[in-house]
Amino acid sequence: DHIFEKVNPEMEKLGYECKCLGGGKIDHNSKDKKIRVFGLSTGYGKADHSVTAEILKKVYTDYEITWSDDKK
């Protein structure tokens, strides 16, 4: 479940230096075209979900994308 640990070694091989700024969860409902960003990482704390939501909106233009600081 810790994506950063899986992705970081490959990014470093490409010459990138990465730092995890926080975490959370993403609930993706493809049927209803909805994405919800929420929660936090027990190891990294909470990410800025508003930033994540804005990035997702650029790719999922026909989705309703919401975020909150709720844990569940």
Domain that holds residue 63: 21-67
**Is residue 1 included in any domain, yes or no?**
no
Q: What is the CATH number of the domain that holds 33?
A: 3.50.20.20
- Classify residue 63 by its DSSP letter: S
Tell me the average pLDDT across 2-16: 93
pLDDT for 1 beyond 70 = no
The rounded distance, in Å, linking the Cα atoms of 39 and 71 is: 4
- Per residue in 24-34, pLDDT (tens digit) is 999 999 999 99
Strand, helix or coil at 52? helix
Condensed to tens digits (0 to 9), the pLDDT of residues 13-68 reads 999 999 999 999 999 999 999 999 999 988 889 999 999 999 999 999 999 999 99
pTM over 0.85: no
In a domain, residue 57? The reply is yes
Query: What's the number of domains the chain is made of?
Result: 1
